[in-house]
Amino acid sequence: MSEYVRMPGEWEPHRGTIIIWPFRPGSWPKGATEAADAFLKVIRGIAKSEEAFVVVNDSCKETARRMLGGLEGVTLVEASTDDSWARDIGPTFVKTEDGTVKGINWSFNAWGGEVDGLYASWDKDDAFAEQFLHRFGYEMIDAAPFVLEGGSIHSDGEGTLLVTESCLLSKGRNPSMTKEQIEATLKHFLGVQKVLWLPRGIYNDETNEHVDNVCAFVKPGEVVLAWTEEKSDPQYELSKACLEYLQQERDAKDRKLVVHKLPIPAHPILVEKKDLEGYVFEEGEDVREIGERLAASYVNFYFTNKAVLVPCFGGENTQSDKRAMEILATLCPHREVIGIPARAILAGGGNIHCITQQVIQ
């Protein structure tokens, strides 16, 4: 690849958003009924201002059609995937100097392959990006066999990329490459000049701590960082290490970063006995356990053309939800901030940003 490309910031204009209807029994229990309700709310939020490309597998397409009920702004896309993490298996869209939009196809290995991957078979997920690009007529930039998930990168649109060391340097992704080689690959395919390597992510994040759960740009030069003041919380040291790193770094434009703290839910969200009812795990698939702490973070929000979709958890975290939305409303004054009840998505292993992938304009 010789021509210059740029990975836009997520807040830049979208043609639409890819989202994959939930169906996998090992991620979405009870026939994915609770997850489907949450996904539907996300889709409605997207469709208010851009096209929602709703991908449906054979097992769920009739349910999706019924629940969507002819919602305007939705395009159904029939395809086979292993799960519903559009951020990680979808193409990463970039722009060339003349404004042409192209899509990058990375290799996907279920967040760690045979080392610590979350399920044993991922061929359908790995093939999805190429299929989507072909279906909608986008030229593909093939980055395979380099392993990367969309949730592990976050761009400011002006040459700076956020990643975490814990994820990109994990042994299950590109073990034969050095940190310097990985960085050079990111610069090459995404057109960035500066990669900021945060040390850690969110505690117990099973993706090896994707950056999109701990830190995200809200505009060039400004980020939100998942935070807690509770020193006894295992997240404290992780967020503190990230803050210290960000405070000493500058972006590609030589700006000192403005860091806004975005508190995590005040009450940790743990897997309860009732949560385990209805899961059907395949051999080799990661399982849930009672008392397991879920990687809840408000940083896992998503920009649409006119809104910010924010995960909310309710119950004893209702005040935390409100505080997060107020902070994001202040930081994103030209967008509507929409809270989405998202505990059912969290129980699957991610959140709103994880199930969405922007198709840039």
Could you give the residue numbers annotated as active site? 354
Who contacts 156 (Cβ-Cβ below 8 Å, separation ≥6)?
9, 217, 219, 220, 221, 251, 252
Residues 301 and 311 sit within 8 Å (Cβ to Cβ) = yes
Who contacts 232 (Cβ-Cβ below 8 Å, separation ≥6)?
none
Strand-pairing partners, residue 260, are: 224
Strands, sheet with 194-198, edge to edge from the N-terminal-most edge strand: 154-155, 160-164, 194-198
Greatest distance between any 2 Cα atoms in the chain: 54
What are the distances in angstroms from CA 343 to CA 171, 178, 348?
A: 30, 37, 9
Residues 43 and 52 sit within 8 Å (Cβ to Cβ) = yes
Q: Tokens 């743990």 map to which residue?
A: 270
In the chain, the amino acid numbered 230 is E
Count of residues in the chain: 361
In the chain, the amino acid numbered 354 is C
